[in-house]
Amino acid sequence: MPAFKDITGQRFGRLIVVRFSHMKKESFWLCRCDCGTEKILRIGTLRAGTTTSCGCAHRDELVARNTTHGHNTRRKTTSVYSRWAMMIQRCTNPRNSRWEWYGARGITVCKRWLQFENFLADMGEPPPGTSIDRIDNNRGYEPGNCKWNTSSEQAYNRRPKSR
């Protein structure tokens, strides 16, 4: 068996070499990733830098690249994102069940708030038990005309019913 240099304890990216595994044409080493996964890897891929994690680094890069705000993922949609999406729908979609009271009346969403990140920056996270309320019911959804209110607070801010 050819001699090899012991690299136990060395770090290669997210990998730390735990121990020697076996020898074929080159040495193979058991490595532990920072995420806890263990893999047996060739010394050549470690030294060349072509392997720097168990694969979790690639997954993390993909998530970071495809995540803009983290409020709407395959697994979970946050409460504030759902409220924003419903606000957009009732003002822009004639097939929405609440269109008659919003979009059809000319209630709009300001151009800035058509991007979720801007809406979140202006309104912030809603306190528990609240939903978005327009201060002046004849104006649209825009900064300065909206706040988070409970349903009982919103009951005081209704337009009179037309007969």
With a CB cutoff of 8 Å and minimum separation 6, the contacts of 146 are 123, 132, 133, 134, 135
Query: CA-to-CA distance for 26 and 32, rounded, in angstroms?
Result: 19
Yes or no: say if 98 and 112 are a contact pair by the CB < 8 Å rule: no
The pLDDT-based confidence of 60 (bands split at 50, 70, 90) is confident
Output b/e per residue, 32-70; b: 16+ Cβ within 10 A.
bbeeeeeeebbbeebeeeebebbeebeeeeeeeeeeeee
- The predicted pLDDT at position 141 comes to 97
Half-sphere exposure of 14 (CA within 13 A, CB side): 16
Residue 151's pLDDT band (boundaries 50, 70, 90)? Answer: confident
- 69 or 153: whose pLDDT is higher? 153
Torsion sign, CA atoms 51, 54, 57, 59: positive
Q: Model confidence at 79, in pLDDT bands (50, 70, 90)?
A: confident
Pull the structure tokens for residue 95.
């097939």
Question: What would the pLDDT profile of 9-52 be if each residue is shown by its tens digit?
Answer: 999 999 999 999 999 989 999 999 999 999 999 999 999 999 99
Residue 152, pLDDT score? 78
Across the chain, mean pLDDT equals 87
User: Where residue 81 falls among pLDDT bands split at 50, 70, 90?
Assistant: confident
pLDDT digits (tens, 9 = 90+) for 125-141: 999 999 899 999 889 99
Task: Give one word for 124, left, alpha or beta, with left for phi > 0 and alpha for psi -120 to 50.
Answer: left
d(CA 102, CA 96): 10
